Amino acid sequence: MTTLEKNTQLIKNQARALGFDFCGISRAEFLADEAPKLEQWLNQNYQGEMAYMANHFDKRLDPRLLVEGAKSVISVLLNYYPNVSTSESDNYKISKYAYGTDYHFVLKDKLKQLLTFIYQNIGEVSGRAFVDSAPVMDKVWAQKSGLGWIGKHSNLLNRQMGSFFFIGELILDLELAYDSPVGDFCGTCTRCIDACPTDAIVAPYVVDGSKCISYFTIELKDQIPAEVQGKFENWIFGCDICQDVCPWNRFAKPHQVAEFEPSDKLLQMQKSDWEDISEDIFKELFKNSAVQRTKLKGLQRNIRFVAQKKDS
């Protein structure tokens, strides 16, 4: 086994030891195929008010502009599929990824541990850890690293695990053995497209972000447009519909990460509790949660909007 192969195996073994479900590696290079797709997506204004999506166009397509001399992109997946759902069919719903501690903290900590391990066991390399913290096309790199394919709902799909996982990267100036992409196993299935209540999946593999329930409930700061009234199916933070209906998620297994577990208080929340939520309860429920992004005011706006469907 060559030094390159040994280093690669060492990194993958340690990623598994740290709790990552999958680890793949691809060559750090310009994403030539993605450049026209990204440009067209932005020109269609599918980013809505997410202006940051148009920033750092060049860096988004070339990891060597983020880490000088970058040679490898190490992609990792961390399962967040829960043991229990917080929402009955008639209750208000929050996306599964937001049940526990904000994934940015959990994933970044594990990636930093992996980076420290690389320094200690391979040598002083230049590298950075990324978890939605910079213009990195994480799904594309995960696909190039053989961890799955990008489905028609634009989420990464893994044959063993479905799509309920977080993606993170280490970009290093260290050459490693690279994995090959896998095929697309969506076939003729259109369940995600058919199930989206706001028609956000405008074509297979193309999502108009500005029509997505997750966009309306998290990213949009203004009032939610009246034309989507009654279409949220009780989602008040994020939305899992396109993932819930995907046949590949029949392979989803409960995660093993204690930090992602929902609190008992969150599991006990009923509609009336959500509608009367106070600042103190919000802070208690979502102290270190991704739901902090909306703040109490944003969550209350979402709850009022969803509640109005029966009054109109």
Domain end marker among 109, 140, 172: 172
Same domain, yes or no: 209 and 76: no
Q: Which residue has the tokens 């008639």?
A: 90
pLDDT (tens digit per residue) in 165-216: 999 999 999 999 999 999 999 999 999 999 999 999 999 999 999 999 999 9
203 vs 85, which has greater pLDDT? 203
DSSP character for 233?
A: T
Same domain, yes or no: 293 and 168: no
The kind and range of the H/E element at 103 are helix 103-121
Residue 178 lies in a domain: no
Residue 79 is encoded by which pair of tokens?
Answer: 């399962």
User: Does residue 177 contact residue 5 with C-beta atoms inside 8 Å?
Assistant: yes
Task: Report the DSSP beta bridge partners of residue 235.
Answer: 93
How big is the chain by its Cα radius of gyration, in Å?
A: 20
Residue 124 lies in a domain: yes
Domain end marker among 142, 172, 202: 172
Same domain, yes or no: 7 and 156: yes
Dihedral sign computed on CA atoms, order 296, 263, 82, 149: positive
pLDDT band at residue 159 using 50, 70 and 90 as cut-offs: very high
Task: Count the domains in the chain.
Answer: 2
**DSSP structure string for 8-67:** HHHHHHHHHHTT-SEEEEEE----TTHHHHHHHHHHTTTTTT-GGGGTTHHHHH-GGGTS
Say if residue 310's pLDDT is above 60. no
pLDDT of residue 309: 63
Domain end marker among 120, 145, 172: 172
pLDDT (tens digit per residue) in 87-136: 777 899 999 999 999 999 999 999 999 999 999 999 989 999 999 878 89
Same domain, yes or no: 136 and 226: no
Residue 139 C-beta-side C-alpha neighbours within 13 Å: 15
Among 81, 63, 182, CA closest to 127: 63
The pLDDT of 10-18, averaged and rounded, is: 98
Residue 270 is encoded by which pair of tokens?
Answer: 């009923």
pLDDT of residue 55: 87
Same domain, yes or no: 12 and 159: yes
Spatial separation of the C-alpha atoms in residues 130 and 112, rounded to whole Å = 10
User: What percent of the chain shows pLDDT beyond 90?
Assistant: 90
Say if residue 86's pLDDT is above 80. no
Residue 15 lies in a domain: yes
Q: What is the pTM of this model?
A: 0.95
Spatial separation of the C-alpha atoms in residues 79 and 256, rounded to whole Å = 8
Domain extent for 212: 191-250+262-310
* Pairing label, strands 165-172, 235-237: unpaired
Same domain, yes or no: 121 and 268: no
pLDDT of residue 312: 47
Say if residue 141's pLDDT is above 80. yes
* Pairing label, strands 127-130, 72-79: unpaired
pLDDT of residue 168: 98
Residue 93 lies in a domain: no
Residue 294 is encoded by which pair of tokens?
Answer: 């909306």
Mean pLDDT of the chain: 95
Residue 94 lies in a domain: no
CATH number at residue 115: 3.40.109
pLDDT of residue 50: 87
Q: Which amino acid is at 272?
A: S
- Our measurement of the distance from residue 98's CA atom to the centroid of its chain's CA atoms, rounded to an integer in Å, reads 11
3-state secondary structure of 205: coil
Spatial separation of the C-alpha atoms in residues 293 and 303, rounded to whole Å = 15
Same domain, yes or no: 26 and 154: yes
Active site residues: 132
Same domain, yes or no: 162 and 195: no
Same domain, yes or no: 116 and 240: no
Dihedral sign computed on CA atoms, order 259, 253, 202, 224: negative
